[in-house]
């Protein structure tokens, strides 16, 4: 299993609108890609800034290619991202899951 993480930030005032927007674009695209095992969007507001982290789980790196293309380290963006993002991770980080425990 491979975990893919991306980070970005908006103004705090745009946090709810951006979360809704990314849910209908990026989260939907991630979840709808064969080989995707799940996705979460995390949000943290501090002062006038909202940080977002999107974490997705994948069967393999080959499955990620179907979503992101090559190279898989390049972030995927959507048309309205420029409207919201004040900081964007241009790349993503991948981790191989080597141990797992569930309650």
Stretch (H or E) spanning 33: none
The owner of tokens 């048309």 is 79
pLDDT at 66 over 90: yes
pTM confidence score: 0.93
Angstrom distances, CA of residue 87 to CA of 51, 52, 53, 82, 84: 9, 10, 12, 10, 9
pLDDT value of residue 103: 86
Write down all domains in the chain, each with its CATH number in brackets.
2-96 (3.30.70.100)
Stretch (H or E) spanning 27: none
Q: Which 8-state DSSP code applies to residue 91?
A: B
Percent of the chain predicted with pLDDT > 70: 100
Residue range 26-44, pLDDT digits in tens: 999 999 999 999 999 999 9
How would you class 84 by CB atoms within 10 Å of its CB: exposed for 0-12, middle for 13-18, buried for 19 or more? buried
């Amino acid at each position: 299993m491979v975990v893919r993480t991306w980070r970005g930030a908006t103004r705090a005032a745009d946090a709810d609108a951006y979360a809704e927007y990314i849910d209908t674009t990026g989260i939907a695209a991630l979840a709808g890609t064969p080989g995707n095992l799940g996705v979460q969007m995390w949000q943290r507001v501090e002062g006038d800034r909202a940080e977002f982290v999107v974490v997705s789980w994948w069967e393999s790196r080959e499955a990620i290619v179907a979503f992101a293309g090559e190279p898989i380290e390049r972030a995927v963006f959507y048309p309205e991202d420029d409207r919201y993002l004040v900081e964007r991770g241009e790349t993503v980080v991948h981790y191989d899951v080597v141990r797992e425990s569930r309650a």
